[in-house]
């Protein structure tokens, strides 16, 4: 029971389906009825609640049984989830790997027994069939463009992110830095996170990681403000980072004095854009990540090809990111609430 207590498991079975996705005909042959698929996140966050709504929509739309698994304690939880799914004989798994470089073995094991795809964060060295997400490097550059708009004169800037072991996180951060410094596009570039970067009118004081620990994330924001009282801007690259930054700024009585540029669509972030305490954010489309994951896994289980399901030959189904500022935040927020069933 400790295993189940250590993770947040959200599962749902839709349209009155059976526990099994298989039915047996009168002659004893087993045939596919409703494919059983799983959507595994890399943690617990409001971002994944939006994706869960997309999974639910996909399960209804594409006639599948779907469950969403959110590991509350990191990579060990995620590994156990995948192992459990393999044991249960599920028809397909969509996973956002926490540490792709060190999870190749478990991902390849899953790929031997079921259809495996990645979403949000890719594992290009594993035997996954395709990746659903955005180009995180280009999305990072979009975020960097917002930084330049918010801080036209440059200045001191701190970057906050969960962890850099993930492919999406590394690329996203690098895109921000390359955009700010007006560098050419090069997704393979990687600036060491511990080093300060001083170039032209910009001074990036550091990249703060928290390993998904919210308390550490807030402490990082507080530390940056304490160490750099003349800090001009803060960039939060995981969904929970901007709200924590706003808390730290409020406590330091600097809300509105330091520019905040965000990533993703936490309610606090969107409210901050509305109020003017956050300049803008770059949003993904986690709803569509969830919906498309179910569509592809259900289709593969029924014998369709990736091409049939709209996946390009590259194996990368690109769900483009977009910038949200004060002039379009109300429209975006209304759309988000509709996807969540709140309106």
| Tens-place pLDDT, residues 234-260 | 999 999 999 999 999 999 999 999 999
pTM of the model: 0.82
Residue 28 has pLDDT above 80, yes or no: no
**Considering the chain, what is the average pLDDT of its residues?**
91
Tell me 100's DSSP state. Answer: G
Average pLDDT over residues 41-68: 95
Average pLDDT over residues 211-222: 96
C-alpha distances out from residue 126 to 57, 74, 163, 188, 241, Å:
28, 19, 20, 19, 29
Sheet holding 233-236, edge to edge: 197-199, 202-209, 155-161, 233-236, 259-263, 280-283, 322-324
Would you state the pLDDT for residue 342?
86
Average pLDDT over residues 76-92: 97
Distance, in Å, from the CA atom of 115 to the CA atom of 85, rounded to the nearest integer, reads: 12
Query: Residue 128, Cα to own-chain centre: how many angstroms?
Result: 18
80 dihedral zone (left: phi>0; alpha: psi -120 to 50; beta):
alpha
Domain with residues 2-134+285-311, CATH architecture: 3-Layer(aba) Sandwich (3.40)
Would you state the pLDDT for residue 340?
87
Domain boundary assignment for the chain: 2-134+285-311, 136-283
Q: Are 39 and 104 in contact (CB under 8 A)?
A: no
Q: Are 255 and 40 in contact (CB under 8 A)?
A: no
How many CB atoms are located within 10 Å of the residue 190 CB? 13
Backbone angles phi, psi at 199, to 5 degrees: -155, 120
Tell me the DSSP string of 271-328: HHHHHTSS-EEEE--HHHHHHHHHHHHHHHHTT--TTTTT--TTSEEE---EEE-TTT
Domain 136-283 has what CATH class? alpha beta
Distance, in Å, from the CA atom of 327 to the CA atom of 154, rounded to the nearest integer, reads: 23
**pLDDT bracket for residue 80 (50, 70, 90):** very high
How many CB atoms are located within 10 Å of the residue 34 CB? 23
Q: Are 97 and 107 in contact (CB under 8 A)?
A: yes
Q: Are 58 and 292 in contact (CB under 8 A)?
A: yes
* Residue 305 tokens, joined: 């090809």
How many CB atoms are located within 10 Å of the residue 310 CB? 11
3-state SS class at 214 = helix
* Length of the chain, in residues: 343
Average pLDDT over residues 66-78: 95
Q: Which of 130-134, 164-168, 264-268, 271-275 has the lowest mean pLDDT?
A: 164-168
Give the bridge partners for 282, in sequence order.
263, 323
Equal fold, 2-134+285-311 vs 136-283? yes
């Amino acid at each position: 029971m400790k295993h189940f207590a250590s993770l947040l498991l959200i599962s749902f079975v839709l349209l009155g389906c059976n526990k099994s996705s298989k039915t047996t005909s009168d002659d004893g042959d087993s045939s596919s009825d409703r494919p059983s698929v799983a959507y595994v996140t890399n943690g617990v966050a409001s971002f994944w609640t939006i994706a869960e709504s997309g999974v639910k929509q996909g399960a209804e739309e594409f006639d599948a049984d779907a469950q969403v698994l959110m590991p509350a304690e990191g990579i060990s939880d995620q590994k156990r989830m995948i192992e459990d799914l393999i044991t249960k004989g599920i028809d397909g798994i969509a996973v956002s790997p926490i540490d792709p470089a060190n999870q190749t073995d478990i991902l390849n094991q899953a790929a031997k027994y079921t259809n495996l795809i990645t979403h949000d964060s890719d594992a290009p060295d594993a035997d996954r069939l395709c990746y659903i997400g955005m180009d995180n490097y280009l999305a990072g550059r979009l975020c960097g463009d917002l930084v330049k708009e918010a801080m036209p004169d440059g200045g001191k800037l701190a970057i906050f992110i969960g962890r850099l072991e993930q492919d999406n996180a590394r690329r996203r951060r690098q895109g921000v830095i390359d955009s700010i410094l007006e560098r050419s596009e090069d997704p393979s570039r990687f600036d060491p996170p511990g080093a300060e970067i001083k170039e032209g009118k910009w001074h990036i004081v550091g990249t703060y990681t928290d390993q998904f620990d919210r308390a550490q994330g807030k402490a990082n924001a507080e530390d940056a403000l304490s160490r750099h009282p003349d800090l001009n801007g803060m960039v939060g690259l995981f969904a929970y980072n901007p709200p924590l930054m706003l808390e730290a700024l409020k406590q330091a009585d600097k809300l509105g004095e330091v520019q905040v540029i965000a990533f993703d669509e936490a309610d606090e972030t969107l409210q901050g854009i509305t109020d003017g305490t956050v300049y803008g954010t770059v949003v993904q489309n986690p709803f569509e990540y969830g919906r498309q994951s179910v569509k592809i896994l259900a289709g593969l289980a029924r014998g369709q090809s990736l091409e049939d399901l709209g996946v390009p030959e590259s194996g990368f189904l690109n769900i483009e990111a977009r910038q949200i500022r004060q002039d379009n935040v109300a429209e975006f927020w209304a759309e988000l609430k509709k996807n969540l069933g709140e309106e």
